[in-house]
Amino acid sequence: MENIKLAEGRTSKSFNPFKVADVSDLPQEDSSSEEVVCTEQQDAQATLGKRKLQTKSELFQPLKKTTAKKMRAYSRNVCRDFLPLNCISGISISYRYDRNLHTTLPKLKRIHKQRDPIQFNKKSEKPQAKVWQSMSINDLAKVLKCDVDDIFECIMTTKYADLFENVSDKIEDISLIVHIVRQFGYRCDVVGKPSSKINFSTLIKSSNTDEELDASPLPLPPLEQCKPRPPVVTIMGHVDHGKTTLLDSLRHSHIVDEEFGAITQHIGAFSVTDMVILVVAADDGVMEQTVESIRMAQESHVPIVVAVNKCDKFGVDLDRVKRQLLEYDVVGEQYGGDVQIIPISALKGTNLDLLCDAVLTQADLMELVADYEGPVEGVVLESKTAHGQGKVCFALVKRGCLRKGVVLVAGSCWCKVRSLFDENKVELKMATPSFPVEITGWKGDEIPSAGEEILQVENERRAKQVTNLRKKKQLINKALDEKNIIDQRRAEERLEYLKIRERKLQFGYIRYDPQADYRRKKEVISSSDGPILPFVLKADVDGSLEAILDVYRTYNSTKCNFDLVHFGIGDVTENDLEIADTFKAAVAFAAIIFCFNVSIGQKEKALADSKAIQLRKHNVIYSLIDDFKKELNSRLPPVSKEIIIGEGTVIREFMVSDIGRKKVPVAGCSVKKGVLTKNDRIRFIRNGEVIYDGSVISMRREKDLVSSSQVGQEVGIKIENRDVRFNEDDQVICYKLVEEQQYIDWSPTGF
């Protein structure tokens, strides 16, 4: 092609959709020259060496909105050997057409999709002011941290100067509020009215004020007005070491009736326990739950009296038990400590008088006293719903004398005492400190929980006031807890949103849907089809229910999940059966109902049978937990386990004729251990890597087909995969797969 010459001031009439980025990027020539001739070789050097090419997105700017027909016409015009680029100051540049520019419409669309990273301007560093519509001038001054006179001066410069006179006047026009905020150098953030949101600081302040109206224990009177009280004793120890037998023996002994009748036999918290009788079997010694009982007593700083039970058995070693107790800082008086260790036989009643003397001696050392004249105080040990009595609370009196007609509060519950009973269901007229008693007459939908403090109040009106205040405080605490959870989740979602936003901006996208990632996560979580055990739990009293729930909270196995859909106190009802039956649609079977020390009526049994709902009744917590573990194990699918039958090595490879006269490899093996069988699976290993794992087609010893080969024999093995080749000293393993039951890896402490 001829050289192109253009004089200064002239323009090229050739088709030219492109433009040069900068004149400075072009080859520079002598400024005195009016005309420049650029040959093809010079043009190539200028293009490849010094000219900075534009990006593809800029080159194809005219083609962003075109059709296929226009594209074909455009390609015919621009696909030439030389293309004029532009004429700037009389300089004409031409270069050989790059083949990358000869493209198709789909490729152009992919090019246009490539975007440059998006960079936003730096946010303003001005402080932000939160305002809302119809806010008063006084509120606006507080937000802007200025005087109200400054607000009025700013309003005087606007058209609203005559509309506002008082600081309580409300500004209805949001544009005026925005104008004032900007005049004071703030960024405006329009929000809702504060009254439409929960003010947690106000709630906390009001709850602190309500604490003054709440009922609370009175300080103890002078010691001169107090009288001695019986000790509160807890009997602890390992399973089957004789705790129940000892308790029954103490109940029927004359010493208990005369001197030790006030020993508490039911207890739910160490806060009301004065001492612990630690029962240790002489034949078993210190066991797992014995250690746990010692730890709990030591953490609560409660004195211990050790009763070594079953001393009437032949061959028991009392010194061995004492030495075992030394390992856990339980030092007996024999070794210079202060712990009394009494050998007894709960079954035969041996040395029970010595044990009672030891307890009373420890009580004298502690100087236990109580106020018999003041208002009643106590603690809830158990609570339940009894047929014919309603809500019943088993409590321990700590102060005062409890009588019928007294108004009590415990947690968010209150009652006017209707009747009092002892542990033998004998009605009482009065209960003194350290005396366990059943209280009836509780009001409301709930019953007091174990560990709640019982306080006497003046009348029913005062009791309702106290319970309402406590319910209000519970709602505030619940709202605060939920707010903290919501804030935590918002922070996590905000962090995830920022990651997605940063990733999108790097690819040049502004519009995106971050919720798509969240929906995908939700689908993955909800699509989990692992084994699950839904169940309902019913217990006789609140203390039993709490103990079982504490065991369930220690569950940490990932093999099988469980879903506690409902739990409660009392007998099984039709509502419990309806709740269990709702899971048939979700998991194809109804939830199991575990019952602990509760009765099941004939009507409920018939309804459960008709709906195929399993009722599991237990009276011992150990059997309930074992049954629960067995049910979890039954939900697990079986696992395959390899059992090695025989081993051998490859002597050499043989090539034998197969169907169609094709040669296939056969492994000549020597059996070193066990048996190699045709009906089981075979595995060939070379240098620690498996080269084949599958079934066997045939086995031959010399020319005879065989089904197995013993130790010391040689056999030829033909496998399914004909591409596998064998080498000398390859390892051969024959095994079979058997299915075994899985078991959850969960063992709660003490079970």
pLDDT at 722 over 50: yes
Q: Which of 465-469, 540-544, 546-550 has the highest mean pLDDT?
A: 465-469
pLDDT for the residue numbered 211: 62
Tokens (6 digits) for 457? 């109040």
Q: How many other C-beta atoms lie within 10 A of the C-beta of residue 506? A: 12
195: phi then psi, degrees, rounded to nearest 5: -65, -20
pLDDT for the residue numbered 114: 56
Beta bridge partners of 384: 392
Its sign, for the CA torsion 367, 373, 374, 375, is: positive
pLDDT at 253 over 90: no
Identical fold between 225-370 and 532-635 = yes
CATH number, span 532-635: 3.40.50.10050
Largest Cα–Cα separation, the chain = 134
pLDDT for the residue numbered 586: 58
**Mean per-residue pLDDT for 451-470?**
90
pLDDT for the residue numbered 12: 41
At residue 111 the predicted structure's pLDDT band, cuts being 50, 70 and 90, is: low
The region of weakest confidence among 45-49, 80-84, 549-553 is 80-84
Fold observed for domain 372-469 = Elongation Factor Tu (Ef-tu); domain 3 (2.40.30)
Which residues, in sequence order, are CB contacts of 242 under 8 Å at separation 6+? 279, 281, 309, 310, 346, 347
**Mean per-residue pLDDT for 108-112?**
59
What single string gives the DSSP state of each residue in 86-153? EEETTEEEEEEPPGGGS--HHHHHHHHH--PPP-PPPPP-SPEEEE-TTEEHHHHHHHHTS-HHHHHH
pLDDT for the residue numbered 685: 93
Tokens (6 digits) for 526? 């909800």
pLDDT for the residue numbered 657: 81
pLDDT at 541 over 90: no
Question: Distances in Å between the alpha carbon of 721 and those of 569, 624, 668, 691?
Answer: 64, 53, 16, 10
pLDDT tens for 139-148 read 899 888 898 8
Residues 188 and 178: beta-carbon distance below 8 Å = yes
**Mean per-residue pLDDT for 555-567?**
87
Tokens (6 digits) for 47? 């293009």
CATH number, span 639-740: 2.40.30.10
pLDDT at 728 over 80: yes
Check: pTM over 0.95? Answer yes or no.
Answer: no
pLDDT tens for 599-633 read 888 888 999 889 888 999 988 888 899 999 999 99
Give Rg (Cα) of the chain: 45
pLDDT tens for 309-352 read 998 888 888 889 999 999 999 998 888 888 999 999 988 888 88
pLDDT at 480 over 80: yes
Q: How many other C-beta atoms lie within 10 A of the C-beta of residue 183? A: 15
pLDDT for the residue numbered 202: 52
The region of weakest confidence among 77-81, 273-277, 411-415 is 77-81
Which residues, in sequence order, are CB contacts of 80 under 8 Å at separation 6+? 97
Better pLDDT: 159 or 256: 159
pLDDT at 430 over 80: yes
Give the C-alpha separation, 26 to 17, whole Å: 18
At residue 70 the predicted structure's pLDDT band, cuts being 50, 70 and 90, is: low
User: What mean pLDDT, rounded, does the chain reach?
Assistant: 77
Give the C-alpha separation, 213 to 232, whole Å: 32
The region of weakest confidence among 112-121, 496-505, 721-730 is 112-121
Which amino acid appears at position 654 of this protein? F
Percent over 90 (pLDDT), the chain? 19
At residue 66 the predicted structure's pLDDT band, cuts being 50, 70 and 90, is: low
Percent over 70 (pLDDT), the chain? 74
**Mean per-residue pLDDT for 509-516?**
48
Find the helix packing angle between 174-183 and 148-156, rounded to 10°: 110
pLDDT at 274 over 70: yes
CATH class in words for 225-370: alpha beta
Q: Which of helix, strand or coil describes residue 418?
A: strand
pLDDT for the residue numbered 408: 94
Residues 384 and 541: beta-carbon distance below 8 Å = yes
User: What residue ranges do the domains of the chain occupy?
Assistant: 128-190, 225-370, 372-469, 532-635, 639-740
pLDDT tens for 13-34 read 444 444 444 444 444 444 444 4
